[in-house]
Structure formats: C-alpha cells, structure tokens
Chain A
Amino acid sequence: MIEFSHVYKYFKKDWAALEDISFKIQKGDFVFLTGVSGSGKSTLLKLIYMEEKPTQGEIFVDNLSSATIKKNDIPFLRRKIGVIFQDFKLLEDRNVYENIAFGLEVTGGSRKLVREKTLAILQKLRLGHRRNAFPYQLSGGEKQRVAIGRALVREPFILLADEPTGNIDPETSKDILKLMKDINAEGTAVLMATHDIDLVKGSGKRVLNLEHGRLKGDI
C-alpha cells in the first residue's frame, strides 16, 4: 500500500533530511514514526502525500509511483489520504460542521452526501453538540477531533498524523490515541509521527524510529 524504496530527500546539496529510507506499510497497519524534532518525520509524511518529491529513490502510494505521478493526479491521491497536524489547520471562519464538510465539498460531493457523511462523522467523534461552535471556542482535544473528522469524512485508506498530540495535555492525548486506535480497528491504516515516547511505550504497535534522517529501527 505504501512503500519507500531507498528514498533520499535533500533540501540543500549537503544537507539530507532523509537518507536511504526503505519500509512498507500494509493495509490496516498501525505504525508509530518516532524521532526527535528535526529527525525528518514531517518530511517523510509530506513525501507520502506528495507535497515533496524524493531527491532519489521511489515511493509507491496506492500503486502510484512518486517517479511517474502527474501533478494533476496528486489531488486525487490526496483524497484517499487523511492528514492531521499538531496545529490542527482548521478554518477559523467556519464552524465544526463546515470544517468537516469542507473535506468533501472541495472534492465535489453532492449536498446530500456531504450532509449525511458529515453528520455521521460528528456522531462518531462525539462532536454533535459542538457542531455550530467555531475553532476559537474549542479545546485542543476538540480541535484535533474536528481535524480527524475532516480527514475521515473522505474515508481514506490511511490516516497520517503529524504530532497530533503535540498541542494537547497528556490526558487528552491518550483520548486522541484511543480514537486513532479505534479508527485503525475499523480498517484505516494509521501512521502517527510523535516524539512522545510515553504514548508509544506499551502500545504493542510497530515503530519506525528516525535519527538524523536515517531509519534506525523498525520494531
């Protein structure tokens, strides 16, 4: 489903963000991506949703290759990938319902479909009572749940999470992790980048560990 084959990413000639990265993620996997800040976690995620292209090597995402994919095909690939971030990236001028629905509207979903799916996601994420609230009225945990809702509403095959608990307290972080595990249990693969070792410990999930842009462990 996702395969990295000897991937290198250079932002400057003498500075490699990622070096010789190779791994595979199968359908329904739950994988942690660990490493300190600057170890290349975000770059690796960007390579998956093709915001960046590898300098060397090849990445396969859902049978599409980074070497041959056309610019026009990238949006269609992204519709099958959900991405969430530490800073949530919500639209501040839209309420919870509109933020989630936005994920479907921009890809041309019909009004009825958008409404049905958005309401289903609101219920699933226990956000129904907050549907008219704006991001500034939400707690960190609620904001992240809205971001997850926006990613899930398109029913992606994988959810990429870039430090999703970075801006929320430890208790809420556990809730978010539990939510991610529930999502995974329903069949969506999850790749979660984090530097929070406590979250990873004892999870029993696969861990890819990055150090200075190199894959130092695949446990």
Chain B
Amino acid sequence: MIIIIREAIRGMIHNKMMVFVTIAVISFSLIILGGFSIFTINGLRFVNLAESKIKIEAFLVDGLSTTEVDSLSKRIENIEGVININYVSKDEAYKLFKDRLGKDKDMLEALSVNPLPASLEIDLDPAYKTLENLDRISLKVGLFSGIEDISYGKRWIARIDKIIKVLLLADLIFAIILLVSSILLVTMTVRLNVESRRDHIDIMRLVGATDSFIRIPFIFEGLIASFISSVISASVIYGILFLLTSRFKDMRGDMNIITVSIFVLGILIGIIGSKIAVDKYLKERV
C-alpha cells in the first residue's frame, strides 16, 4: 500500500500539468452541475408554490340560506381529493375585491348594489392538482344545485403542468449530458496522463507487475485529484448558495444536500474516469 501511495504521489508530481487540468475539468463540470441543480430545485419550488395556490372557486347563486350552504359544503367535502372548503360571503368578496382594487375602489363604491356572488373556495390535496382531476372535481361540483359557476384557472394549470414536464425532461437530459461529458473529459485527461507514462507502465509490465498493481496508483491519483476538485466545487457551490439564500429570502438552497452530492459526485467521476482510462490502455497492450 505504501508503494502504491508513493507511486501515486510521484506520478502526480511528475505530471503536475495533467493533474491541474484534471482538477480544473472536474471542478468546472461540478460547478456547472451544482449551479444547474440550484436553478432546477428553485424552479421546481416556484412551480410548486404556484401550484399550491390553485383552488377551485365555486360561485353560489344568490339567496342561499346558511343551512343550504352548509349542506352544499358537506357534499363537496365528500368528493375524493377535496381537503378543505372555505366559505366567502358576498360581503367578504366585496371587501376583498375592494382591497384588491386599491385606489380604484371608488369605481366599486359607485355601484349601489354588491354585484359579487358568495363562493366556496375548494382546496385540494396536492396530488389532485392535475388538469384531469381539476376537470373531474369541477364537473362534479358544478352539478350540485346552488352552484352558479366554477372557476379554477384552467389555462394556468395547463401551463404549469407543461412547465413541470419540460423542466424535468430538460433537467434529466442536461444532467446526463453533463455527467457523461465530465466522465469523458476526465477519462481523456487521465488517458493523456497514462499515455505520457507509457514507458513507465511498460517497464512495470516487463518486471511482472500485475494489471491491478499498475491500475491502483492511477485510480488513487484520480481519487486525490477528484477530492481536491470536489472540495473546490463544493466550496464554490456552498458560497453561491449562501449568497443567494441570504439575498433572496424565497430562494431555497437545500445547501447540505447539494454540497454533499457535488462532493460525492466529483469523487465518483474521478474514480470512474481514471479506471476507464487505465483499463482501456491495459486492455490494448499485453
């Protein structure tokens, strides 16, 4: 083991430039991957936030008694997916609308009657906030007597659904491309390193070193290089997250998860890349 570690350190000193390039390549890839993770996590979070605000509004016909409203609420509550119902009276609706109008509230005051209907705000389980479920539940609610109209921002929901799908797909594709290209880049860099030490490897083989003995120092070098890269990129990502979360309160980091993931990923990329490169070289020559 001591010999292997010594060989790895010797190799790194001998190939300083290659080691530097490997560290730079891994760090760069990881920082981009980390940045992308932050973007994705927050993107999805904002989408979720928008989704959580989705509610079905069932407008009631004028003149329903409290008993009628209660019975209607109970019937709606029994529909699968409904978790909460909030009654907004005509007066409350008037007040809310007036508040929303702000300085234009005079327009509303000019009317002699309250034109706004009372409504039931129907809150759904997050799993039911899909276009199909909203359509289904709205249809059921609309069939009850006492319901004048239903609104749930169909266009919005369709758009959010599309955003989630596109974001997740783009995320997956981009992450795969980035991971594969990082491994390829590391493989190529280590391969150059291996090629530059072919005489050394040939001598090792000549004196009877086994392939695993030859392989281990290179993988160890990959491990050291990737460890350094991981420390660099995890620190950068942590720094970015720290700045963003302290500046934008809505921004979320999941700092530890992202930082640790970047760290582990970097080490894996280094080891896998080194192993592929050395194995390929050893396979080509006996």
Write the residues of chain A forming the contact surface with B, with a CB cutoff of 8 angstroms. Answer: 49-53, 71-72, 74-79, 83, 89, 91, 93, 102-103, 105-108, 150-151, 154
Q: Which 9 A-B pairs have the closest CB atoms?
A: A79-B208, A106-B209, A78-B208, A103-B207, A75-B208, A75-B210, A107-B208, A105-B3, A106-B204
In the complex, B203 has a CB within 8 A of chain A: yes
A106 touching B207 in the complex, CB below 8 Å, given contacts A71-B286, A89-B199? yes
A102 touching B286 in the complex, CB below 8 Å, given contacts A75-B208, A79-B208, A107-B209? no
A102 touching B210 in the complex, CB below 8 Å, given contacts A71-B286, A74-B286? no
In the complex, B74 has a CB within 8 A of chain A: no
Q: How far is the CB of B207 from chain A (nearest CB, A)?
A: 5
* Cβ contacts under 8 Å, A150 to chain B: 207
Contact A78 B205 (CB under 8 A): yes
In the complex, B127 has a CB within 8 A of chain A: no
What is the CA–CA distance of A91 and B198 in the complex, to the nearest angstrom?
11
Selected from A50, A83, A91, A107, the residue in CB contact (under 8 A) with B286 is A50
What is the CA–CA distance of A86 and B199 in the complex, to the nearest angstrom?
14
In chain A, what residue has the closest Cβ to B202?
A89
Contact A51 B207 (CB under 8 A): no
* Cβ contacts under 8 Å, A78 to chain B: 205-208
Of residues 161 to 219 in B, which have CB atoms within 8 Å of A's CB atoms?
A: 199-200, 202-211, 213
In the complex, B10 has a CB within 8 A of chain A: yes
In the complex, B280 has a CB within 8 A of chain A: no
In chain A, what residue has the closest Cβ to B206?
A83
In chain B, what residue has the closest Cβ to A78?
B208
What is the CA–CA distance of A77 and B207 in the complex, to the nearest angstrom?
10
Interface mask (B128-141 → A, CB under 8 Å = 1, otherwise 0): 00000000000000
Can you offer 17 A-B residue contacts whose CB atoms are under 8 A?
A50-B286, A51-B286, A53-B286, A72-B210, A74-B286, A75-B211, A79-B207, A89-B202, A89-B206, A91-B199, A91-B203, A93-B14, A103-B207, A105-B3, A106-B208, A106-B209, A154-B208
